[in-house]
Amino acid sequence: MTTIGNGSGPRELAGKRALVTGGTRGIGAAVVRQFLDAGAEVLTTARSATSTVPDGASFVAADVRTRAGTEALAAAAQEVLGGVDVLVHNAGGARPHADSSAITDEEWQDALDLNYLASVRLDALLLPGMRDRRAGTIVHVSSAAVLTPVGPFLHYTAAKAALENYSRGLALELAPLGIRVNAVSPGRTATPGGEATREQWASLSVAPAETNAGDTTPLGRDGRPGDIADAVLFLASDRASWLTGRNLIVDGGEFPMG
Ligand SMILES: NC(=O)c1ccc[n+]([C@@H]2O[C@H](COP(=O)([O-])OP(=O)(O)OC[C@H]3O[C@@H](n4cnc5c(N)ncnc54)[C@H](OP(=O)(O)O)[C@@H]3O)[C@@H](O)[C@H]2O)c1
């Protein structure tokens, strides 16, 4: 199967087989497009196939919140790509509530499954191949919101905080094998999921004073999906060959450092 893109950028991922979760819109779709342009063969996933899968990428429907979903995805990666050199955990999100007491047990579990355990499970399934080859790189997409956790979104930020801690520990464990693991933490980025979340939040009586990143971001605008994809591509490429265990915050300068 040939899934090489037609872009004109540097072919920094030429010959690499990449799996990107949540690649049908927003940040994930931008990552898929940039990876294709960089010469990678790309498989992506979402719960449902849409016409928005970037041209040139392979697609398999899977719900990464479930063990069955991650197992089906790992099997598809083996079948379609023959293995994975670059793994990007991008699918994520959660619905905000009025305060933390309104977050149900089911929603806590759902947030953990989507934003944290999906990565743990999929890494466990795909790492044996990377270990055998003593090569590979993983990028976990977290959130700059971890730096300022608030009640309405605690299920989300707590899950992402766990992801960051896990990402760092995995990086240290795998560094001797030459496998690099990093995280990217976006600030407020203009995506369908991000906009929907902010609309839900704004409709709550405890909505934060500012909901428009352009008002507060030193660089004066919301992030674009490509801004985040640039960071993911950098970390996935050999340009970041001396970078592991780090969390790159891409937020227009908005958040205080952790
Ligand atoms: N946008 C922001 O402001 C922002 C800020 C900080 C962090 N982030 C993080 O950046 C990542 C991408 O966010 P985004 O704003 O681009 O999201 P988005 O616009 O909602 O897109 C999410 C993508 O993930 C897929 N997806 C969602 N749930 C899934 C599941 N259970 N299994 C498989 N695929 C699933 C979606 O497709 P289906 O719905 O069809 O499954 C879609 O392709 C997330 O991890 C998010 O937490 C975003």
CATH architecture of the domain with range 17-103+127-250: 3-Layer(aba) Sandwich (3.40)
- How many angstroms is it from 4 CA to the middle of ligand 1? 24
Q: Please state the atom number of ligand 1 nearest to the C-alpha of residue 114.
A: 31
Q: Which of 1-5, 20-24, 31-35, 241-245 has the lowest mean pLDDT?
A: 1-5
Its pTM stands at 0.94
Over residues 201-230, mean pLDDT: 79
Structure tokens at 66: 């479930």
Burial of 257 (0-12, 13-18, 19+ CB in 10 A): exposed
Return the pLDDT at 119.
Answer: 98
Return the pLDDT at 216.
Answer: 73
Which of helix, strand or coil describes residue 258?
coil
Taking only the tens place, the pLDDT of each residue in 121-146 is 999 999 999 999 999 999 999 999 99
H-helix segments, the chain: 26-37, 67-81, 105-112, 118-133, 154-174, 192-202, 213-216, 225-236
Q: Where are the domains of the chain?
A: 17-103+127-250
Q: Specify whether 166 is catalytic.
A: no
- How many angstroms is it from 31 CA to the middle of ligand 1? 12
Mutate to test the pocket of ligand 1, among 44, 63, 90 (most ligand atoms within 8 A of CB): 90
> In this model, does residue 257 exceed pLDDT 90?
no
Q: Which of 26-40, 149-163, 201-215 has the lowest mean pLDDT?
A: 201-215
> In this model, does residue 8 exceed pLDDT 90?
no
